[in-house]
């Protein structure tokens, strides 16, 4: 275990992220590298990812638990359930929404994460353990973030609107930067400055941990080197997930959900089994893991049909 005695976990409230150097030891880095090479490519068509094995996540869970306990003791963020983990690479292994061709992946622009916001609704109490596994150049292919305190100082209204939410992108329009709402459509607001003016880019080595809240704005620094990072996600199992929030939204949301229907179709099935009762994130998480296990055994298809999912989505929208 790395020495995190100098880490200020209260920064999860004030800044939305923190850095722990040397979080993984060399054996753990090599284990994740081997796990990445053995992992199958996900059927997600939004971007090219591979999923961490349960064995790899289980091996590291004690370390994650220690961090989560410190976060809870020193900030208002609360997570308690290891939900999922994927590997992100700067090299795309297939054509996706975010990468129009195989090879060096187009760097993600400024955004808040989308799928986790639509699935869990609560992204303040949601942590992303981002850890480079393959990282050939210290100064390149890092993750660039917009600290919450800097955003609040420069654009307090936008800060308040984005706090606790996701599914946005920040795109330049002339001399302005528009915060697009990919959840309902339209825009959240407009910035009169480039977020690059307040960004931070922690320079990460293999095994370093960049811990991120789910609502922080971030982007890929560049895709000029072959970087592979493990991204392991924790949720709060007590979060109540509103059924209506999963399905409602605009065209951008519909397209991205369609591309990741293997994730969202089981969520709707879980709601079907709840008989209209409020459902907690922990219940959905358990069901998703059961589905994943059946798929690994070949007992259930890896994906549903596009037409079938669109039909289900339409029914959910008019409930």
Over the stretch 135-190, which tens digit does the pLDDT of each residue have? 999 999 999 999 999 999 999 999 999 999 999 999 999 999 999 999 999 999 99
Phi, psi of 133 (to 5 degrees): -110, -45
Q: Which domain holds residue 164?
A: 11-317
The verdict on residue 5 lying in a domain is no
Phi, psi of 117 (to 5 degrees): -65, -45
Q: What is the pLDDT of residues 57-111, one digit of tens each?
A: 999 999 999 999 999 999 999 999 999 999 999 998 878 877 777 777 666 789 9
pLDDT above 60 for 1:
no
Average pLDDT over the chain reads 93
> Among residues of the chain, what percentage have pLDDT more than 90?
85
CATH assignment at residue 217: 2.60.120.620
The verdict on residue 6 lying in a domain is no
The verdict on residue 3 lying in a domain is no
Task: Please count the structural domains in the chain.
Answer: 1
Contact between 196 and 118 (Cβ < 8 Å): no
**In the chain, which ranges are continuous DSSP H helix?**
11-14, 26-38, 54-74, 115-120, 148-154, 156-162, 243-247, 251-259, 261-272, 281-296, 306-317
pLDDT above 70 for 2:
no
Closest by alpha carbon to 147, among 163, 131, 167, 135? 163
Mean pLDDT of 205-214: 98
Mean pLDDT of 20-48: 95
The verdict on residue 4 lying in a domain is no
pLDDT above 80 for 209:
yes
The verdict on residue 100 lying in a domain is yes
């Amino acid at each position: 275990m790395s020495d995190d005695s100098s880490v200020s976990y209260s920064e999860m409230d004030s800044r939305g992220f923190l850095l722990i150097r040397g979080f993984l030891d060399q054996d753990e880095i090599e284990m994740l590298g081997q796990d990445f090479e053995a992992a199958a490519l996900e059927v997600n068509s939004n971007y090219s990812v591979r999923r961490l094995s349960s064995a790899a996540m289980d091996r590291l869970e004690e370390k994650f638990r220690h961090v989560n306990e410190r976060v809870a003791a020193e900030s208002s963020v609360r997570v308690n359930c290891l939900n999922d983990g994927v590997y992100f690479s700067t090299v795309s292994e297939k054509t996706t929404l975010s990468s129009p061709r195989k090879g060096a992946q187009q760097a993600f622009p400024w955004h808040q994460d989308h799928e986790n916001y639509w699935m869990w609704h609560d992204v303040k109490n949601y942590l992303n353990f981002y850890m480079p596994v393959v990282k050939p150049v210290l100064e390149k292919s890092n993750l660039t973030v917009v600290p919450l305190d800097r955003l609040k100082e420069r654009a307090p209204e936008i800060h308040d609107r984005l706090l606790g939410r996701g599914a946005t992108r920040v795109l330049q329009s002339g001399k302005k930067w528009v915060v697009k709402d990919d959840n309902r459509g339209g825009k959240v607001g407009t910035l009169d400055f480039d977020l690059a003016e307040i960004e931070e880019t922690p320079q990460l080595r293999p095994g370093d941990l960049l811990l991120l809240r789910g609502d922080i704005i971030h982007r890929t620094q560049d895709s000029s080197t072959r970087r592979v990072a493990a991204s392991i996600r924790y949720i709060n199992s007590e979060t109540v997930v509103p059924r209506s929030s999963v399905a409602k939204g605009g065209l951008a949301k519909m397209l991205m959900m369609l591309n990741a229907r293997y994730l969202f179709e089981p969520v709707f099935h879980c709601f079907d089994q709840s008989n209209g009762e409020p459902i907690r994130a922990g219940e959905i998480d358990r069901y998703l893991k059961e589905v994943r296990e059946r798929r690994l055994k070949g007992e259930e298809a890896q994906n549903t049909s596009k037409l079938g999912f669109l039909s289900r989505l339409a029914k959910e929208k008019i409930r």
